[in-house]
Amino acid sequence: MKKELFDFLNTDLQFVKGVGPVLASKFDEILGGRRVLDFLLHKPSYVRPREITDSVINVQPGEIITIPVLIKSYKKGGVFRGRRAPTQIMCNDKLGVPITIQFFNTTFLDYWLNKLPIGQWRIISGKLEYNNNGGAIISHPEFIECLENAEKIPSIQAVYPSGEGLTQKNFANVRDQIFASLDTKVNDCETSVRDFFDALRTVHFPKSADDLLPNSGAILTLSYSELFAHQVAIAISRKHRQEIRSIRGVRKKKHDLMPKFYEVLTFKLTDAQERVIDEIFDDMKKPTPMMRLVQGDVGSGKTIVALSAATKMAESGTQTVLMAPTDTLAQQHFATLQSLCEKIGIVCDILTGRDKGRERTEKLISIKSGRTKLIVGTHAVFSDDTEYKDLGLVIIDEQHRFGVAQREAIRIKGNNPDVLALSATPIPRTLSMTIYGDMDISILNEKPAGRLPIKTTKLPIMRINDLVKRLSVQVENGAKVFWVCPLVEESETSDLTAAQERYDFLKSHFPDAGLVHGKMDKKKRDKVMSEFSNANSKMRVLVSTTVIEVGIDVPSASIIVIENAERFGLAALHQLRGRVGRGYAQSFCVLFYGKNITEDGIKRLDVLCETDDGFIIAEQDLMMRGVGELLGTKQSGWIAYNFVDYREHRDLFKLASRDAREMEIVSDWAKDLMFVFNREHRVGA
């Protein structure tokens, strides 16, 4: 790839015209990166037709309508007798049928009124609804244009998965700017490069819904490229691991710590835990560095397996890092592990981005000297100023997007340490062979004895009041409740608003309820979390956006309510549900669904009501997942492909993996594709 093109793909989105640092960080949150490339890899989820029609009678309620209207009169909104009334603009369509445009948010009212002058024609586009009197209403139209500018409204609009603070207009603007610059840079490139960027163009400017289907030419090109990039990286990683096999000597045991490890356990290990620990210890004896993935359903007891590995390392005086995806999780691991380590005789410490100043320096010195044997933290454990005396093992817990590139980066930074990854996202075996082709896999397929399956029911959201009544009784009796608020797809109303509104509603029934969301200051959020975790606290209901992170352990919580469950992937729901059922009490999960749920949606929820076996659920998830991305999958899956659809592209998996294996030398284009898809830049970022 030409340097010019490469540099452009690496450009920070804040330098795209009309973006700037604030919007760029919002894009970062949604795209999982803030480069031009990250934007290009963000696939629109569907298309919205905006063909112009002459009359409201041609369009069904709930659908998008694009229509010329004649503006007749205004009725200003405001607060009347404590009730908020919207500002309304009365219009007629070409057949004289009345339509009302309304604005609830009156902050920019003059701006809108200027765009809709009385006595003139305008084309507007938005969602058509009807009020109780049968009048057609369009609230907050997304487009308002003069008749001569009608072509400014796209007749087919690509709709991007979005989030708080970003509108579809923001996406369209960035896309237009990027592609305007891209063309000149791609034009004189070789065919494979041009084909690839042509496919991206098709996906970002779809001409019909078909362009976004899994079997469209463009999506096939991109999916194959994505899989191929991944498979080449795996092949390389496998080769490297074999090459370094003889460099590393066998570790010598200096202390006897394992007996103490078994002594401090307050429970008996499950057979599965014992088997997996054996597998890990076997790896550690080998000259080839360990690269092992432990897949164990939520609550299967992975932390203690991690501790056994760290203890084994400490026996030879070697250090272990345990890396968690978030501060909160790192803190929680540290709280559990520290007291156990103390009893075993291992010095354990925590290192996150929050450590500053002298305290941090002291921690770093202790790590460098080799005194600290177990370092729990976030990706800060790999910041430039962190030096290890002898890092023998890196354990990665519940890491999202822990791809092959990250594995390689750790290998290089830590001088070929053993790597142990822990995941609660079960992946069917057939797939994991290709996805994790360079790793050995252990499966923790057993829960600690005495755990009751979580009783799961589905319920229409209309019955919320019934549920609240029942919950009140449970809460009186000491139950703790996680309440997960709906995900909002486009940011018409934000996730936060939804959570805030639900919180206000629940507070009238549960005055001590707490609220956490992603926009909250971390300290405040941790405070609420720890108050909720505290067994004696009065806070018995915790309302949250989807941020209750994978792995959060509040054993006393026994009820979880998930709103808009139909919009999550099954695996994601299973993860969320796993926040309860961690103690010995009977736990419950309520899946709320909206009125627009489809028959398939109901079937999917039924899977969860019937089983709590993560592997069955994962298999069903892949089989039943409809076209188009379900919300929440990005958060839960380790491998979140941008274009690949597990269900539709099984043959491509095989093809890409064969092509990668048969490749004699790594071509330039294969290297370019690895750059495009493997997101190396994330590690330690």
Residues in contact with ligand ADP by CB under 6 A are 267, 269-270, 273, 296, 298-304, 424, 448, 551, 553, 555, 582
Q: How far is the CB of 447 from ligand ADP (least distance, A)?
A: 8
Query: DSSP 3-state assignment of 609?
Result: helix
Interacting residues of 507 by C-beta distance below 8 A, sequence separation 6+: 513
In the block, which residue shows the tokens 């975790």?
533
Q: How far is the CB of 231 from Mg ion (least distance, A)?
A: 29
Q: How far is the CB of 460 from Mg ion (least distance, A)?
A: 33
Query: DSSP 3-state assignment of 293?
Result: strand
Q: How far is the CB of 588 from Mg ion (least distance, A)?
A: 21
393 vs 506, beta carbon nearer ligand ADP? 393
50 vs 447, beta carbon nearer ligand ADP? 447
Q: Binding segment for Mg ion among 185-193, 234-242, 548-556, 576-584 (CB under 5 A)?
A: 548-556
Query: DSSP 3-state assignment of 489?
Result: coil
- 583 is a contact residue toward Mg ion (CB under 5 A): no
In this structure, are residues 156 and 50 in contact, taking their beta carbons and an 8 Å threshold? yes
Q: How far is the CB of 289 from ligand ADP (least distance, A)?
A: 24
What is the C-alpha separation between 453 and 585, in angstroms, rounded?
10
- 206 is a contact residue toward Mg ion (CB under 5 A): no
Residue 105: burial class (beta carbons within 10 Å; 0-12, 13-18, 19+):
exposed
What is the C-alpha separation between 458 and 602, in angstroms, rounded?
9
296 vs 514, beta carbon nearer ligand ADP? 296
428 vs 448, beta carbon nearer ligand ADP? 448
Query: DSSP 3-state assignment of 519?
Result: coil
Q: How far is the CB of 268 from ligand ADP (least distance, A)?
A: 6
Q: How far is the CB of 318 from Mg ion (least distance, A)?
A: 23
In this structure, are residues 293 and 424 in contact, taking their beta carbons and an 8 Å threshold? no
Q: Which two tokens stand for residue 478?
A: 């000491």
Cα angle 21, 22, 23; round to 5:
95
Instruction: Find how far residue 75's CA is from the centre of its chain.
Output: 43
221 vs 456, beta carbon nearer ligand ADP? 456
Question: What's the CA dihedral at 102, 105, 110, 115 to 10 degrees?
Answer: -50
258 vs 269, beta carbon nearer ligand ADP? 269
199 vs 337, beta carbon nearer ligand ADP? 337
166 vs 557, beta carbon nearer ligand ADP? 557
Q: How far is the CB of 187 from Mg ion (least distance, A)?
A: 50
50 vs 302, beta carbon nearer Mg ion? 302
Q: How far is the CB of 579 from ligand ADP (least distance, A)?
A: 10
Q: What is the CA radius of gyration of the chain?
A: 27
Q: How far is the CB of 581 from ligand ADP (least distance, A)?
A: 10
- 301 is a contact residue toward Mg ion (CB under 5 A): no
What is the C-alpha separation between 139 and 320, in angstroms, rounded?
57
Q: Binding segment for Mg ion among 97-105, 300-308, 350-358, 519-527 (CB under 5 A)?
A: 300-308
Q: Binding segment for Mg ion among 80-88, 152-160, 251-259, 295-303 (CB under 5 A)?
A: 295-303
Q: Which two tokens stand for residue 100?
A: 């009302």
Q: How far is the CB of 333 from Mg ion (least distance, A)?
A: 8
Amino acid occupying residue 467? L
Q: Which two tokens stand for residue 84?
A: 């908020």
Comparing every residue's Cβ against ligand ADP, the nearest one is: 301
Q: Binding segment for Mg ion among 148-156, 183-191, 240-248, 294-302 (CB under 5 A)?
A: 294-302
Query: DSSP 3-state assignment of 429?
Result: helix
Query: DSSP 3-state assignment of 645?
Result: coil
Total site size for Mg ion, rule CB under 5 A? 2
Q: Which two tokens stand for residue 638?
A: 């380790």
161 vs 551, beta carbon nearer ligand ADP? 551
Q: Binding segment for Mg ion among 10-18, 103-111, 466-474, 545-553 (CB under 5 A)?
A: 545-553
Q: How far is the CB of 397 from ligand ADP (least distance, A)?
A: 7
222 vs 293, beta carbon nearer ligand ADP? 293
Comparing every residue's Cβ against Mg ion, the nearest one is: 551
Interacting residues of 334 by C-beta distance below 8 A, sequence separation 6+: 348, 349, 350, 376
Q: Which does 237 bind (CB under 5 to 8 A by kind): ligand ADP, Mg ion, none?
A: none
Q: Which does 33 bind (CB under 5 to 8 A by kind): Mg ion, ligand ADP, none?
A: none
- 551 is a contact residue toward Mg ion (CB under 5 A): yes
Q: Binding segment for Mg ion among 250-258, 277-285, 298-306, 314-322 (CB under 5 A)?
A: 298-306
Long-range contacts of 350-359 (CB under 8 A, 24+ apart): 350/375, 350/376, 350/377, 351/375, 351/376, 351/377, 351/380, 351/381, 351/386, 352/327, 352/377, 352/378, 352/380, 353/327, 353/378, 353/380, 353/383, 354/327, 354/522, 355/380
Q: Which does 582 bind (CB under 5 to 8 A by kind): ligand ADP, Mg ion, none?
A: ligand ADP
Interacting residues of 111 by C-beta distance below 8 A, sequence separation 6+: none
Q: Which two tokens stand for residue 661?
A: 């294996």
What is the C-alpha separation between 153 and 172, in angstroms, rounded?
11
In this structure, are residues 194 and 200 in contact, taking their beta carbons and an 8 Å threshold? no
Q: Which does 553 bind (CB under 5 to 8 A by kind): ligand ADP, Mg ion, none?
A: ligand ADP
270 vs 544, beta carbon nearer ligand ADP? 270
Amino acid occupying residue 637? G
Q: Which does 328 bind (CB under 5 to 8 A by kind): ligand ADP, Mg ion, none?
A: none
Binding site for Mg ion (CB under 5 A): 302, 551
